[in-house]
């Protein structure tokens, strides 16, 4: 349905595939097919790609992303200094470009801290960094850093991934009402106007159509949305995976380079 309604970029990960939701006819309508490497494939990058290409029945991937800096080996998330590190994985990803089976490579869920470790050891700079990004977590510092390095920042959760806290904010709602638009349209338009690439998700055809119908926000409206995270309790991650011990997929916020406290609340 997405391709029939104007979408030309499919972002996917192998773990969610089912025989009925990705078809060759869909792939041929896309301008960009993006795939994320599972953490369980960090030690077998080439093999993981070959398996993905076979399952998708296609010859190449347009954009191949390292989904997380964490690697999983023998059903266990390994330490940041254990092999394969995300630098090891990236070096294997770089080799894929010479095969013609991958057109570009990037990362996902990387912070300034992890990028500062990775970039000095890169031959190829990541084309993009795909992260949680929305009005509650606008990622201004990361955006500035990625811009300075020529890395495009992509928002995989422009609506807050199932917990759109800012959709209920009166100032955010007022902007939508002023344009006779949906709050989702405002979120996507805000992301685009600030130079990021949002990846909206919906199974509803009408919402799909609305989500790619952009509106022009005024500078004042952009500033209003930029400031939403400054309200009490609003500057936070809206992902559901924050553990009660202050870890995220078994790494601490410090290891990930995320300035957060338990529950994903931003501390800096």
Annotated binding-site positions: 67
Please state, in angstroms and rounded to a whole number, the distance separating the CA atoms of residues 69 and 50: 21
Please state, in angstroms and rounded to a whole number, the distance separating the CA atoms of residues 240 and 131: 14
Annotated binding-site positions for substrate: 67
Please state, in angstroms and rounded to a whole number, the distance separating the CA atoms of residues 223 and 37: 36
């Amino acid at each position: 349905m997405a391709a029939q309604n104007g979408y030309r970029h499919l972002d996917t990960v192998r773990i969610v595939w089912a025989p009925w939701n990705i078809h060759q006819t869909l792939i041929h309508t896309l301008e960009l097919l993006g795939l994320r490497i599972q953490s369980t494939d960090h030690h077998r990058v080439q093999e993981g790609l070959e398996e993905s290409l076979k399952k998708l029945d296609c010859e190449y991937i347009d954009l191949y992303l390292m989904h997380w800096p964490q690697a999983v080996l023998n059903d266990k998330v390994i330490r940041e200094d254990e092999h394969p590190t995300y630098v090891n994985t990236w070096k294997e990803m770089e080799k894929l470009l010479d095969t013609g089976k991958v057109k570009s490579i990037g990362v996902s869920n990387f912070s300034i801290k992890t990028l500062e470790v990775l970039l000095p050891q890169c031959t190829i700079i990541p084309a993009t960094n795909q992260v949680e990004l929305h009005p509650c977590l606008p990622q201004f510092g990361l955006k500035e850093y990625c811009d300075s390095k020529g890395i495009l920042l992509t928002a995989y959760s422009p609506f807050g991934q199932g917990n759109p806290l800012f959709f209920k904010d009166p100032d955010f709602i007022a902007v939508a009402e002023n344009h006779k638009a949906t709050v989702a349209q405002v979120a996507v338009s805000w992301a685009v106007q600030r130079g990021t690439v949002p990846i909206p998700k919906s199974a509803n055809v009408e919402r799909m159509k609305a989500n790619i119908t952009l509106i022009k926000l005024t500078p004042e409206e952009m500033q209003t949305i930029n400031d939403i995270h400054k309200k009490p309790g609003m500057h936070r991650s809206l992902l559901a995976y924050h553990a009660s011990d202050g870890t995220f997929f078994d790494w601490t916020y410090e290891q990930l380079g995320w300035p957060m406290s338990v529950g994903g609340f931003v501390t800096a």
